[in-house]
Structure 1
């Protein structure tokens, strides 16, 4: 059965189960996604929020110390507030790596992305870094220094994932 068909069935099943739950009835069948074991490793982004806060601090110092400060209106403070909110958003929106039965999922800059096992060329692990190499597209790099990922635990789970699917796992 194709994956798109499986996803359609799961989606429809979830909708029907929600309706049945509202009516107080038992669900038809347990959805596959709830039975599937997915290991999620969360990190914490400090680098980008720190950069944004330093940038806005520089912006405020330069603007306040200039002669044109009297001419700035509320838009200056709205801009400062928006940068602070953006830094807070980057701080609270934690990066993660989820390892499922046949996929690896992560939050990229443009949203959540998945790579299925047949699209992974190799996975490399070294002290503080995990690199997932794809056949098409750029490599995914997970760093302990930049995003505070638990790379040792991730390497253990990814080693088992590679052994299960016959993917090359390089340890340095």
Structure 2
């Protein structure tokens, strides 16, 4: 049975069990949690919110000093509010790396992404950085400076993951 089929069955089983729980019935079968066996390492995004706030500051300065600026323009204040809200979303939506049994998962700009073992070319670790190289697509770079990831702990877990699946692991000084 393929993994995608297993995931579909597991997802549907979880949904049915939630519905049965709401109606006071016992679950059909104990569904395995998708979070089972995952080691998750969370970072903190502060560069994008800072950039957005600086952009808003620049926007306010340029617009307010303009001769055509009208203080009662509601679209101006809505725009400022939405950019501040977007900065808050980026602050609260923390980036992460999850290492599972045969995949790694991370939050990208477009959503959560999985990379299976067969698509990983290699893993590189150096002080402050962990890089997961893929056969297709760009490398996933996790930085201590950019997103406050615990890179030392991540490197230890990814080294064990690489040894388990025969993926080349490189440690640079």
Whether these two folds match at TM > 0.5 is yes
Q: Give the CA deviation at 1:124.
A: 0.5
- Counterpart of 2:170 in structure 1 is 170
The 8 Å contact of residues 13 and 31 in structure 1, kept in 2 or not, is answered as yes
Q: Distance in 1 between matches of 2:82 and 2:22?
A: 40
Deviations 1:35-57 (A, max 9, x none): 73101111111001101101111
TM-score under structure 1 normalisation?
0.93
Structure 1 position 123, deviation (Å): 0.5
Give the structure 2 partner of residue 10 of structure 1. Answer: 10
2:52 matched residue in structure 1: 52
After TM superposition, the structure 1 = structure 2 runs for residues 1-150 of structure 1, keeping only pairs within 5 Å, are: 1-34=1-34, 36-70=36-70, 73-150=73-150
Residue segments in structure 2 that go unaligned for 5+ positions in a row: none
Which one has the bigger helix percentage? 1
Query: Contact between 1:36 and 1:101, CA under 8 Å: does it hold in 2?
Result: no
Label 1:70 to 1:158 Cα distance change in 2 as closer, same or farther (>3 A).
same
User: Could you say if the C-alpha distance between residues 127 and 35 of structure 1 is closer, same or farther in structure 2, counting changes exceeding 3 Å?
Assistant: closer
| Runs ≥4 residues deviating over 3 A | none
Distance 1:31 1:73, change over 3 A: same
Unaligned runs of 5+ in 1: none
2:63 partner SS: helix
